[in-house]
Structure formats: C-alpha cells, structure tokens
Amino acid sequence: MSNIEQTLSIIKPDAVERNLVEEIKNIFLKNNITIIESKKIHISKEEASEFYKVHQSKPFYDDLCNYLASGPIFVMILEGKGVVTLNRRLMGATDPKKAEKDTIRKLYGISIDKNSIHGSDSVENANKEINFFF
Ligand code: IDP
Ligand code: MG
C-alpha cells in the first residue's frame, strides 16, 4: 500500500510553447492525481542553474539550464498515493525515443533535452523541489 505523497512536476518550455499544459494536466487527473498548486513562471538562468545543481558536472548542464530558462514553464505540486513513482511512470524515460507507449515523453517529447516534463525522482528531492518553487 502506498502512502499519500507530493511531488514536483514542471511542464518545460517546449510543451508550454505548444499549448500542451491542459493535455498534460488531464493525464494527471485521469490517474487520480490532485494538482494542489500550480503557476506559470519564467525563471532566470541563475534560478535554473540552482534548480539543476545536481547535474552541474554533466556535459549538458549549461544547455539544460539555458533551456529551462528559455521560456515560460508550468510548475505544479502533485499529490496522490505513491505519486513520486506514479508520476515518473506517467512521464516515461528521459529520452522520448526510449519512453514507453502513452507516456508524456513518448506522446509529446521532441528530444532528450526537449523532453517536455520534469518530475522529482524521490520523496526527499520532491520536498526540496517543492520548497524551491512554492
Ligand atoms: P530525468 O528528467 O528523466 O530525471 P535526468 O537524468 O535527471 O533525467 O536529467 C535531467 C534533464 O537533463 C533531462 O530531463 C533532460 O532534459 C536533460 N538530459 C539528461 N540527459 C541528457 C543528455 O544526455 N543530453 C542532453 N540532455 C540531457
Ligand atoms: Mg532527474
């Protein structure tokens, strides 16, 4: 039996730009996930660099931070039973080409960097990421 958890979801610039916010929100709602809070914001490169700090040693870090700051994003606090894991399953693999059928990244992702969505990968990181934005 899973516990009620919260996690952070970010609809990334490529998906906000293509007006996919409502379609993606509906995927969460259909899966018994509650959207507790949400807001559309445009963050700076500095804020993106702070958010993605865990990736600072990766070769794609700079591109990743520029990308997250490149346009409006839609951030949400999701709540539900085992929502951290459920959300990761609904998102699909990081690379849309490898993502499972009907996942958000399979349906909407353009490439490994423009992969439409972010989701926290653990309860601990979810708490940190929620506090970062809300
Ligand atoms: P995740 O978003 O599935 O948790 P992470 O490994 O945490 O994947 O990577 C964070 C983000 O960095 C990914 O969502 C993707 O946008 C980007 N990324 C990951 N790996 C690569 C890569 O090899 N090249 C370019 N961008 C990448
Ligand atoms: Mg990650």
DSSP letters for 70-123: SS-EEEEEEEEETHHHHHHHHH--SSGGGSPTT-HHHHH--SSSS-SEEE-SSH
Kindly indicate the confidence band of residue 42, based on its pLDDT and cuts at 50, 70 and 90: very high
Domain with residue 49: its CATH number is 3.30.70.141
* Integer Cα distance of 8 and 49 in angstroms: 17
**Residue 133 Cα, ligand 2 centroid: separation in angstroms?**
16
Kindly indicate the confidence band of residue 1, based on its pLDDT and cuts at 50, 70 and 90: low
Which atom from ligand 1 is nearest to the alpha carbon of 12?
16
- Provide the number of structural domains found in the chain: 1
Tell me the two tokens of residue 2. 């899973």
**Residue 57 Cα, ligand 1 centroid: separation in angstroms?**
13
Chain-wide mean pLDDT for the chain?
98
Ligand 1 cavity residues, CB under 6 Å: 55, 60, 64, 94, 112-113, 115, 118, 121
Q: Which residues are catalytic?
A: 118
- Residue 55 is predicted with a pLDDT of 97
Encode pLDDT of 50-107 as tens digits.
Answer: 999 999 999 999 999 999 999 999 999 999 999 999 999 999 999 999 999 999 999 9
Domain interval for residue 122 = 4-133
